[in-house]
Amino acid sequence: MNLAHGEGRVGVLDIGSNSIRLVIFESHGRVSLPIFNEKALCGLGAELHSTGRLSKRGRSLAADNIARFMEIAQKMELEHFHIFATAAVRESADGASFAKEFKETFGQPMRVLSGDEEARLSALGVISAFPRADGIVCDLGGGSLELVDVKEGRVRNQTSLPVGSLRFGSFDELNEDEVRNVIDEELTKISWIDSLQDRRLFAIGGAWRSLARLHMDACNYPLKIVHGYSVEASDLLSFLKQLYPINISTKGDNDSEWHIVPATRAEQIPLAALILARILILGKGDEIMFSASGLREGYLFNRLDIESKNIDPLVMSCNDVASESERFFLKNWEIEDWVAAFFPCFSKRHRRLLTASCIIRDFAWSDHPSYRGEQAFLRILSFPSLGLTHQDRVFLALVVLARYRGNIKFAESTQCLQLISLEQQNLAHRIGLVLRLGITISGGIAGVLKQIEVKHHLDIITITYPRHLATAKGHVVERRLKQLEQLLGNRVVLRSQ
């Protein structure tokens, strides 16, 4: 059944080969924030490679944690509750009995996803976060590796391989060649593996998210958000080679070098690094982007109706934020058209970011005037929104910073400027100043800006307003006009008719 946006709380219990996670979202919609998100590393598939059965210790840990999760879900008064299992339950000899026992204990069925289902839903999770995603989606779990070719937001080819972070037992320098050969053998079975060449790889999975955190820490990266973090393949490969076959499975909780990775996850880092390296080398990908949106998000996205799926998650998130902080009657489309008139050659990406910035142009108005720009910048950097790369976050944050401050310089912004080019910094600054001028001229009043005409002729921009329009005059308007003129390097003429 396909659902419309916004129907009640929804929960997802994901019983994976390595971890079991319960996520409860505030609603079943295009953009839903989790109000509860907890995982337990149980290792159900830890013995699958040796016995073909679920781990006894894993089953014991799973029983306690699933009971806890089921009780929490029951008390949350969910509108919908989805329970599914992946590779360990799917492939183990006692998986069917595990699923049967679950139903007898809790009175609800557990859906066991096929490999193809798991692959497709993981890809839909990426597509839900990055509309029109283009590249190869790779989801590394404890028991399997899903690879999906997506083009312009559509699934093309998909496969599921028996290559997971728990599949090989111990991994060290003694069996590195053997493990590498098994990984390569599985990857070369994919007839379309060369589809990755010179394209982006979307990396999903807890072990790979830990790799991203380690890489961020190693290069002193200023933005500590895994989702949307991108790295050139050549840069990441040189880093990955430092992680295998080093045995960090014996790390202690106090080892400063790996302090951002829990000991339970650190055991899987060398193998996860080797798997990712082999995909990049054999597929010849040119970039990796890490996604926090995967199987669970794809499962819910798949259940939305077409209209809801087509909503831009960034625009929707911005509308949700702005709806809680509106103070003026100036329409979003009016200020967007005003800004766009100054930049007639916007790319699709910049037009989308302009739309977003115009929606949240005033969301920090209730903060202290001395800190509005800074607070807006920091909040946008940590915005809980899908559909944003790190470069997009910085660009959007700089636009709103310039809208409030008139400039883009302060301590925190300086650290993040390295993430985008000087050209992009200057464009964000210019958009912010045009936005600032438009808000000033309109006085926040609806209908004012649509009476004003902006024209370009050679190096002159002429802003023409009706003679009766008093809001287009005054000291503040003149000051902000001069500031914009200096930044643009063009003459800007404001005149009445």
Residues of the chain with CATH 3.30.420.150: 116-296
Residue 368 carries which side chain, given as an amino acid letter?
H
Give residue 415's pLDDT. 87
Q: Report DSSP state, residue 419.
A: G
Give residue 251's pLDDT. 47
- 13: helix, coil or strand? strand
pLDDT, averaged per 10 consecutive residues of the chain (497 residues), comes to 63 96 90 91 91 95 96 94 96 96 96 96 96 95 94 94 84 74 94 93 95 93 94 94 64 55 78 94 95 95 93 92 87 96 93 96 93 94 89 96 93 89 96 96 94 93 94 94 93 92
Cis peptide before 109 (omega within 30 of 0): no
Give residue 170's pLDDT. 63
Q: What is the CATH number of domain 8-112?
A: 3.30.420.40
- 33: helix, coil or strand? coil
Long-range contacts of 391-395 (CB under 8 A, 24+ apart): 391/230, 391/419, 391/420, 391/424, 392/228, 392/314, 392/349, 392/353, 393/223, 393/225, 393/228, 394/223, 394/419, 394/420, 395/353, 395/420, 395/424, 395/427, 395/428
Residues of the chain with CATH 1.10.3210.10: 313-496
CATH ID of 313-496, from 3.50.50.60, 2.40.340.10, 1.10.3210.10, 3.40.50.10300: 1.10.3210.10
Its sign, for the CA torsion 269, 272, 276, 281, is positive
Distance of alpha carbon 307 from alpha carbon 4, whole angstroms = 8
Question: Which backbone phi and psi does 278 adopt, to 5 degrees?
Answer: -70, -35
Give residue 139's pLDDT. 96
Tell me if 2 sits within 8 A of 301, measured CB to CB.
Answer: no
Distance of alpha carbon 117 from alpha carbon 112, whole angstroms = 10
Residue 306 carries which side chain, given as an amino acid letter?
I
Give residue 393's pLDDT. 96
- Beta bridge partners of residue 287, listed in sequence order: 200, 232
Q: What is the CATH number of domain 116-296?
A: 3.30.420.150
